[in-house]
Amino acid sequence: MKAKHEDAVVKLTSVFFQYEEKVVLENINFSLERGDFVGIVGPNGSGKSTLMKLLLGLLPATKGTVELFGQPLSKFRDWSKIGYVAQQVAHGAGGFPATVREVVASGLVGKVGLFRRLQGKHHQKVEEVVERVGLTEKLDQRIGNLSGGQLQRVFIARALVAEPELLILDEPTVGVDQESIEQFYELLRSLKEENGMTMMIVSHDVGVMTQWVNKVACLQRKLHFHGSAHDFAHNHDKILQQMYGDSIKMLAHHH
């Protein structure tokens, strides 16, 4: 019984990935334990999206093994355990004629099936997660009327409604104002602390993100660092210099 609980949520062992001739990921050994909140850091083109696609089963590893919840990817079927919040173009939803309630309920498709009617318990769950992200007042409003920060919370609610155990977020703060970013990370922290959610986030905003996560993984084709946010903070200059080279000056300026 206990062993089951100690299984890593995600485990990559000696993983390589290449697009035709181009090696994008090289010998990645990486694991995520239950309750981890890990931030993935790396320059443009360093393989972050590719890594996520490998975890989501969208791309096969060229070499090495990927395991999810203790099972090899090829045997893993329980995709409702994984919630994914894709990168949003915050302005793109302007004309989309769906309400918050409808968008969040669409997150149940994988569980309930596309043509089945939602039952009372599902409606209740939708309202519960909308409340969780603080948007109850907006429940029946069209998402086109929301701010970037509110929209981001709608997409998180859509991922949460199926009750995932692992939440993967790709650049979730792009187009979100500064104040909402703080609220957004507060929400993630509470999901970790109150629900024991395991989370993985990719963000270019290294300075902000690394203040909230408990682990950091630095990727630039290889994994340059994989450890606690505390250790990252102490070796931060050296690690980033190694990965970003001269462009680090720009980053340092930014924050």
Give the footprint of ligand ATP on residues 4-33 (CB under 6 A): 19, 22, 24
Rule CB under 6 A: is residue 45 a binding residue for ligand ATP? Answer: yes
Rule CB under 6 A: is residue 42 a binding residue for ligand ATP? Answer: yes
Question: Smaller CB distance to ligand ATP: residue 46 or 152?
Answer: 46
Among 11, 48, 153, 215, binds ligand ATP (CB under 6 A): 48
**How would you list the strands of the sheet with 82-85, edge to edge?**
82-85, 166-170, 198-202, 37-41, 215-220, 222-228
Among 1, 44, 121, 178, binds ligand ATP (CB under 6 A): 44
Rule CB under 6 A: is residue 220 a binding residue for ligand ATP? Answer: no
Report in angstroms how near the CB of residue 46 gets to ligand ATP at its nearest.
4
Report in angstroms how near the CB of residue 71 gets to ligand ATP at its nearest.
24
Rule CB under 6 A: is residue 203 a binding residue for ligand ATP? Answer: no
Q: Which residues bind ligand ATP (CB under 6 A)?
A: 19, 22, 24, 42, 44-50
